[in-house]
């Protein structure tokens, strides 16, 4: 396993690998790896000759009042986990090389897709995500790249970006990996107090509840959202719902009536920790 910090070195290596007709699989991460990340690596590992994982806490996707400075990290542990997953290359650049003072270019998915859900509350977040992903695609030049379904809006936005800008990269969705009680794995779960951790599975429970309602024939989004809200609010006063939304799974257009392939998504604060989760549901016509 190679650890590469230099952009230029990574680019030359990617170029060499391409000329040797190797298939490059890529999993971008912000480090502090958990089973969710590892599951994405396994998907890429099975499909590609070369597996590249990036460890980079991307400053442009954090708001000014967000947790950039205290975002958890443990490079030694990440490195060990990557080795266990048979990763070929860890790409771990410095912030100053990724964003020098002269940096001015952003990649932006405009319109409703980035205004709804998390985008409503994190106005420049997705611009930061699509910008760093575009950079990483140009540096690593993967054939496929795997993103977690857990960050459902991110997945849809990255797919849109890659398609609109004609990146020759296939975007693959990896299923959300959950703790035994249903809590979606996230590096931010580490922030939860024991009490908050006990309450946290309610996010997933509310999504399962929504699925049951839809399975039993409910098609009115507002009614489903209202019932989810009640369920969550009953659980604990420490839970603050930021949003619950039902949107088209691909375009993220908010839907009043459930149809075709939808995403039910929510963001909830547990104390100061903001957790997100979602499910994709397909209904017959």
User: Where on the chain is the footprint of a copy of itself (CB under 8 A)?
Assistant: 7, 11, 15, 18-19, 21, 102-111, 113, 130-131, 134-135, 138-139, 141, 160-161, 164-168, 251
Our answer to whether residue 37 is catalytic in this structure is yes
Please classify residue 8 by burial: count the beta carbons closer than 10 Å to its beta carbon, then call 0-12 exposed, 13-18 middle and 19+ buried: exposed
**With respect to a copy of itself, which residue has the nearer C-beta, 171 or 225?**
171
Place of tokens 């980079």: 56
CB of 249 to a copy of itself, least distance (A): 14
Q: For 119-217, where are the E strands, in sequence order?
A: 144-148, 170-174
CB of 164 to a copy of itself, least distance (A): 4
**169: helix, coil or strand?**
coil
**156: helix, coil or strand?**
helix
Distance of CA 229 to the CA centre of its chain: 24
**With respect to a copy of itself, which residue has the nearer C-beta, 164 or 233?**
164
**With respect to a copy of itself, which residue has the nearer C-beta, 87 or 113?**
113
Residue 274 forms beta bridges with which residues? 269
Q: Give the separation between CA 108 and CA 130, rounded to whole angstroms.
A: 7
CB of 108 to a copy of itself, least distance (A): 5
**With respect to a copy of itself, which residue has the nearer C-beta, 153 or 189?**
153
**With respect to a copy of itself, which residue has the nearer C-beta, 19 or 76?**
19
CB of 104 to a copy of itself, least distance (A): 5
Residue 254 forms beta bridges with which residues? 247
**If phi over 0 gives left and psi between -120 and 50 gives alpha, with beta otherwise, what is residue 73?**
beta
Beta-strand pair 239-248/89-91: unpaired
**With respect to a copy of itself, which residue has the nearer C-beta, 107 or 231?**
107
Q: Which of 34, 37, 73, 125 is catalytic?
A: 37
CB of 173 to a copy of itself, least distance (A): 18
Tokens of 157: 């936005």
| CA neighbor of 26 nearest in space, from 6, 2, 45, 4 | 45
HEC string for 214-245: HHCCCCEHHHHHHHHHHHHHHHCCCEEEEEEE
CB of 258 to a copy of itself, least distance (A): 22
Residues labelled as active-site residues: 37
């Amino acid at each position: 396993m190679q650890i590469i910090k230099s952009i230029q070195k990574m680019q030359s290596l990617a170029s060499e690998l391409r000329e040797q007709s190797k298939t490059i699989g890529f999993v971008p991460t912000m480090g502090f790896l958990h089973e969710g990340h590892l599951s994405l690596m396994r998907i890429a590992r099975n499909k590609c000759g070369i597996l590249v994982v990036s460890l980079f806490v991307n400053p442009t996707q954090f708001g000014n009042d967000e947790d950039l400075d205290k975002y958890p990290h443990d490079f030694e542990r990440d490195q060990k986990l990557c080795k266990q997953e048979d990763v070929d290359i860890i790409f771990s650049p410095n912030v100053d090389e990724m964003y020098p003072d002269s940096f001015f270019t952003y990649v932006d998915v405009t319109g409703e897709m980035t205004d709804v859900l998390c985008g409503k509350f994190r106005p420049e977040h997705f611009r930061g995500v699509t910008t760093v992903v575009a950079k990483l695609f140009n540096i690593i030049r993967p054939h496929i790249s795997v993103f977690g379904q857990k960050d459902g809006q991110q997945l849809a936005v990255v797919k849109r970006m890659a398609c609109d800008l004609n990146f020759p990269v296939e975007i693959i969705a990896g299923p959300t990996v959950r703790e035994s009680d249903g809590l979606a794995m996230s590096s931010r779960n580490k922030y939860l107090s024991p009490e908050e951790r006990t309450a946290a599975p309610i996010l997933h429970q509310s999504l399962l509840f929504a699925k049951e309602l839809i399975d039993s024939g409910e098609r009115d989004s507002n009614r489903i959202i209202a019932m989810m809200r009640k369920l969550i609010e009953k659980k604990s006063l420490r839970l603050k719902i930021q949003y619950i939304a039902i949107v088209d799974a691909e375009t993220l257009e908010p839907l009043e009536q459930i149809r075709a392939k939808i995403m039910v998504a929510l963001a909830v604060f547990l104390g100061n920790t903001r957790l997100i989760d979602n499910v994709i549901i397909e209904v017959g016509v």
